Amino acid sequence: MNQSSNCDPLSMGRRSEHTRRQLSDLILQAAEQLIVDHGLAGLSARAIARDIGYTPGTIYLLFANLDDVILHVNARTLDALYAYIKAAIAKERSPLRQLMQAARAYVEFARTHPNRWRACFEHRLPVDVAGPDDIDVRIQQLIDLIMAPLADVSQTEGAALDAAAQALWSGVHGICILTLTHKLQMVGGREIEHLTDNLVRHYLVGLAASDASTDSMGP
Amino acid sequence: MNQSSNCDPLSMGRRSEHTRRQLSDLILQAAEQLIVDHGLAGLSARAIARDIGYTPGTIYLLFANLDDVILHVNARTLDALYAYIKAAIAKERSPLRQLMQAARAYVEFARTHPNRWRACFEHRLPVDVAGPDDIDVRIQQLIDLIMAPLADVSQTEGAALDAAAQALWSGVHGICILTLTHKLQMVGGREIEHLTDNLVRHYLVGLAASDASTDSMGP
DNA sequence: AGTAACAAATGAACGGCGTTCAATGCCATC
DNA sequence: GATGGCATTGAACGCCGTTCATTTGTTACT
């Protein structure tokens, strides 16, 4: 009656040379490699299938559609980005340096993995699903990473702190986007790191100055 | 021998109900409308042809390919954006207010024409043509718009001024991107305008403060 | 051993895409 | 009227995402 035997339920498949989990990983790895090599535009179900030695239909046994695959790849990328920034922050002690290093880590990740990074933000879902999916949650987690040091540096809290974190993070993001897509003419030796430092430093100075003059009335 | 007659060379066409120029405009208008209605993903040669009453092949008599069409639509969009920001700046006198209004105009344009605006930055060319095309030139013109007031406010010039303009403009751009793509959780009543004001104001304060402490030694 | 049951995987098919190009149709001219 | 020649067509190619009836291989039970 019951299917309990000495073989685990995961290997119940008939022709399966791979567990569902293994196959799922294969697909995601192949998809990620295609994105790395040729960008989001280079991703196709047929290309994935070719690379893993299956047919396109197999992908649809494990994922709802290609968007679903992309979402999973992007989730992995954002996890890696999260870990990278977290490590960068952990290396520093002073909140100010933590913020600077976080920004630099973000930029460096985007520059090291341009196609994976861009896929996270270029991928446009169909009109549906306004609800915050996995991706949006992960992006919020990225922003949360800088909340603590930003609170220290700016002496703000609550909504003002949230706003500052979002503004700062968006700003760095904008620099990455425009630089990676070559929309900014980088004349001379000015590099993306300089722009990032410029933005973060001046923003933080201004933020601290504004707080000092409005929030705290002084001791 | 020569084709000179009482009819202008533009109407030499045989079955043509439209001048090449008219037909080109028809195509661009239809393409723009498709982008407005359904985003870049909603654009296709067949859809354009259907809307203007021609066949897909006709498009290729006037444009090299669909990318070429998109490039032209984007150029128009950036021209409109340029005019919009320029008008916003012209309404103000003080450089600081000019910068704030320029940022707000940018945001407002992106919010009013989200699909057209996004098309300018989502469109990814094939690996070729690194050379600065029309689009990049127009983006540089946008940045140039804020150079004069920024020079006033910041008391900087040369490379430092360029860097400040790029950093500030990229920051506002990043806010637009993340907001329009709903990657930022906009909790409470915080809106994109508040974020923009926040970024611009604090950045400018910090920029001016840094200049005062480094560049000019003070009278 | 034989067989029934069943899941894994296939591959053909559908409609749509960008793009090309020989063939067609229309017009101005001779 | 015949002719030359360009504007336009529409069929075709090879790609795409996605679906699903069919096949195939494995297990479980007789």
In the numeric block, which tokens belong to residue B9?
Answer: 């060379």
Tell me: do A55 and A156 sit in the same domain. Answer: no
Residue A181 near chain B (CB below 8 Å): yes
What are the distances in angstroms from CA B5 to CA A55, A56, B10, B13, B19? 62, 60, 12, 14, 17
Phi, psi of A196 (to 5 degrees): -65, -50
Q: Are B27 and B63 in contact (CB under 8 A)?
A: yes
Interface of A with B in 84-113 (CB under 8 A): none
Residue with more model confidence, A107 or A214: A107
Report pLDDT digits (tens) over B160-177. Answer: 999 999 999 999 999 999
Cα–Cα dist B136/A109, whole Å = 24
Over 60: is that where the pLDDT of A215 sits?
no
Instruction: Assess whether pLDDT exceeds 80 at residue A212.
Output: no
Mean residue pLDDT of chain B comes to 88
- Assigned domain for A186 exists: yes
pLDDT of residue A106: 98
pLDDT at B39 over 80: yes
Rounded to an integer, what distance in angstroms lies between the CA atom of residue B200 and that of residue B103?
8
Arithmetic mean of pLDDT, B30-42? 97
Q: How far apart are CA A87 and CA A145, in angstroms?
A: 11
Q: What proportion of chain A, given as a percentage, has pLDDT over 70?
A: 85
CA distance A203 to B205: 8
Nearest Cα to Cα of residue B137 among B65, B79, B69: B79
pLDDT in tens, A30-74: 999 999 999 999 999 999 999 999 999 999 999 999 999 999 999
Higher pLDDT, B125 or B90: B90
Same domain, A173 and A190: yes
For residue B214 the two structure tokens come to: 């480094």
The more confident residue out of B209 and B199 is B199
Whole-number pLDDT of residue B186: 79
- CATH code at position A95: 1.10.357.10
In a domain, A5, yes or no: no
For residue A183, give the chain B residue with the closest CA: B136
- Residues of chain A positioned with their CB less than 8 A from the CB of B41: 124
Residue B89 scores a pLDDT above 50 = yes
Q: pLDDT value at position A5?
A: 35
A57 in the same domain as A110: no
Q: Does A122 lie in the same domain as A52?
A: no
CA neighbor of A88 nearest in space, from A140, A149, A137, A136: A149
- DSSP, collapsed to helix, strand or coil, labels residue B60 as helix
Instruction: Tell me the one-letter amino acid at B126.
Output: P
Mean pLDDT score, B180-205: 89
Give the residue from B68, B175, B144, B43 showing the smallest Cα distance to A177. Answer: B175
Distance A47 CA to C5 C1' (A): 34
- pLDDT tens sequence across A94-139: 999 999 999 999 999 999 999 999 999 999 877 766 666 789 999 9
Q: Which residues of B touch A185 (CB under 8 A)?
A: 132, 136, 140
- Do residues A44 and A112 both lie within one domain? no
Looking at the 3D structure of chain B, how many domains does it have? 2
Q: What CATH number is associated with residue B40?
A: 1.10.10.60
pLDDT band for position A13 (50/70/90)? Answer: very low
User: Which residue on chain B is closest to A125 by alpha carbon?
Assistant: B181
Q: Which of residues 11-30 of B touch A (CB under 8 A)?
A: none
Structure-block tokens of residue B127? 């690996």
Angle at B100 between CA B95 and CA B101, to 5 degrees: 95
CB-CB: which of A175, A201, A203 is closest to B170? A175
Residue A4 lies in a domain: no
Average pLDDT (A198-208) is 97
Place of tokens 């630089």: A179
- Tens of pLDDT, residue by residue over A153-195, are 999 999 999 999 999 999 999 999 999 998 988 766 568 999 9
A36: containing domain: 14-63
Asked if B33 and B113 sit in the same domain, the reply is no
Q: Is the dihedral of CA A140, A136, A159, B117 positive or negative?
A: positive
Same domain, yes or no, for B199 and B154?
A: yes
Give the model's pLDDT for residue B216: 42
Q: What is the pLDDT of residue A213?
A: 63
B161's enclosing H/E stretch is helix B158-180
Binning pLDDT at 50, 70 and 90, where does residue B190 land?
Answer: low
